[in-house]
């Protein structure tokens, strides 16, 4: 779950809306079902391992400062032979945040760009997008439903993030489409000439309140032409049809201004910490 942030920088922490954030932590981190991953619940964290063994995610944790180092070391020992990469997802409001970050960096984890967790009601976004849609009808969002159709994602991501392991993510997603996993939906924004130029997918278990919008990006030469918005429209309507009431995005610095204009509000910030497993 997530985007492809690159580089390192800090961001100001937004004001936290405690009730909604606590619900998000419970439903979308501690107890969520992640498409393509098996969940394990430990006393102080939730662990998710890809069926393909490509990576293991630690996306919820509630640690005390004094046991951070031991837990980080235990998870590193546990992932050996189980996945090719381990990733911790660390939010600004998490307990023992600074201690966890220090422990991860001290052990060779790579800190990725910080993102902003933003949310909005599904209906509010659909209304905002309907008012803005007349400004540009050039792009059409198409749902991708076959493993081969994700070639478009690999082409776009290689253009935007040439130094990232894009093929690994795309190969995992091909498996999900092959297996008809209901927990993820893929869209691509297509230009009038038929070229797929933007991506946007959605993690959502049918009937859940939250839908997480991910992977929203556009080829470099097609920026600032509202291609990103076309996939927002498609995902918002898909979320409503599947029973979601709240949309969440881990927004990059490029996406955040667009989302704010469409009514999204910030809950907190987060970053991924990644380490290859030898």
pLDDT tens for 53-110 read: 999 999 999 999 999 999 999 999 999 999 999 999 999 999 999 999 999 999 999 9
* Cβ neighbours of 262 (radius 10 Å): 20
Decide: helix, strand or coil at residue 109.
coil
Q: What is the CA radius of gyration of the chain?
A: 18
What are the tokens at 38? 């098996």
Give tens-digit pLDDT for 10-62: 334 444 456 899 999 999 999 999 999 999 999 899 999 999 999 999 999 99
End-to-end CA distance of the chain: 23
Q: Is the pLDDT of residue 207 over 90?
A: no
Which long-range contacts link 66-69 to residues 24+ away (Cβ below 8 Å)?
Answer: 68/96, 68/99, 68/100, 68/103, 69/99, 69/103
pLDDT of residue 12: 40
Torsional sign, CA 126, 132, 133, 136: negative
Q: Give every CB contact of residue 253 below 8 A, 6+ residues apart in sequence.
A: 11, 113
Give tens-digit pLDDT for 132-178: 654 556 789 999 999 999 999 999 999 999 999 999 999 999 999 99
pLDDT of residue 16: 43
Q: For helices 166-178 and 151-160, what crossing angle results, to 10°?
A: 160
**Mean pLDDT, range 207-236, rounded to an integer:** 91
List, in order of start, the domains of the chain with CATH numbers: 18-115+271-276 (3.40.630), 118-269 (3.40.630.30)
CA–CA gap between residue 180 and residue 247 (Å, rounded):
22
pLDDT of residue 254: 87
Whole-angstrom CA distances from 247 to 4, 31, 230 are: 19, 17, 16
pLDDT of residue 190: 94
**What DSSP state is assigned to residue 269?**
E
CA–CA gap between residue 67 and residue 75 (Å, rounded):
12
Residue labelled with tokens 């869209």: 187
Question: At 7, is the pLDDT very low, low, confident or very high (cuts 50, 70, 90)?
Answer: very low
Distance of CA 169 to the CA centre of its chain: 12
Question: At 2, is the pLDDT very low, low, confident or very high (cuts 50, 70, 90)?
Answer: very low
pLDDT of residue 135: 55
Decide: helix, strand or coil at residue 138.
coil
* Cβ neighbours of 3 (radius 10 Å): 20
Q: Is the pLDDT of residue 5 over 60?
A: no
Q: Is the distance from CB of 269 to CB of 256 less than 8 angstroms? A: no
């Amino acid at each position: 779950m997530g985007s492809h942030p690159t580089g390192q920088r800090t961001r100001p922490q937004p004001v936290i809306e405690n009730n909604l954030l606590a619900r998000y932590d419970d439903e979308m981190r501690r107890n969520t079902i992640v498409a393509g991953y098996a969940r394990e619940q430990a006393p102080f964290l939730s662990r998710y391992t890809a069926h393909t063994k490509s990576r293991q995610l630690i996306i919820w944790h509630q640690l005390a400062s004094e046991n951070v180092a031991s837990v980080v070391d235990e998870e590193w020992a546990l992932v050996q032979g189980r996945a090719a990469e381990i990733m911790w997802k660390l939010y600004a409001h998490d307990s023992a945040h600074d201690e966890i970050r220090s422990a991860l960096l001290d052990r060779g984890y790579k800190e990725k760009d910080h993102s902003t967790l933003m949310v909005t009601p599904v209906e509010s976004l659909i209304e905002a997008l309907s008012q803005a849609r007349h400004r540009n009808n050039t792009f059409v969002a198409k749902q991708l439903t076959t493993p081969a159709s994700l070639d478009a994602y690999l082409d776009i991501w290689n253009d935007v993030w040439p130094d990232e392991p894009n093929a690994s993510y795309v190969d995992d997603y091909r498996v999900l489409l092959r297996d008809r996993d209901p927990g993820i939906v893929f869209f691509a924004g297509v230009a009038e000439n038929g070229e797929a130029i933007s991506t946007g997918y959605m993690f959502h278990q049918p009937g859940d309140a939250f839908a997480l919008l991910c992977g929203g990006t556009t080829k470099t030469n097609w920026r600032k032409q509202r291609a990103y918005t076309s996939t927002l429209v498609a995902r918002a309507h898909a979320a409503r049809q599947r029973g979601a009431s709240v949309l969440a995005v881990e927004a990059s610095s490029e996406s955040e201004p667009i989302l704010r204009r469409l009514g999204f509000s910030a809950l907190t910030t987060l970053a991924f910490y990644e380490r290859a497993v030898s």
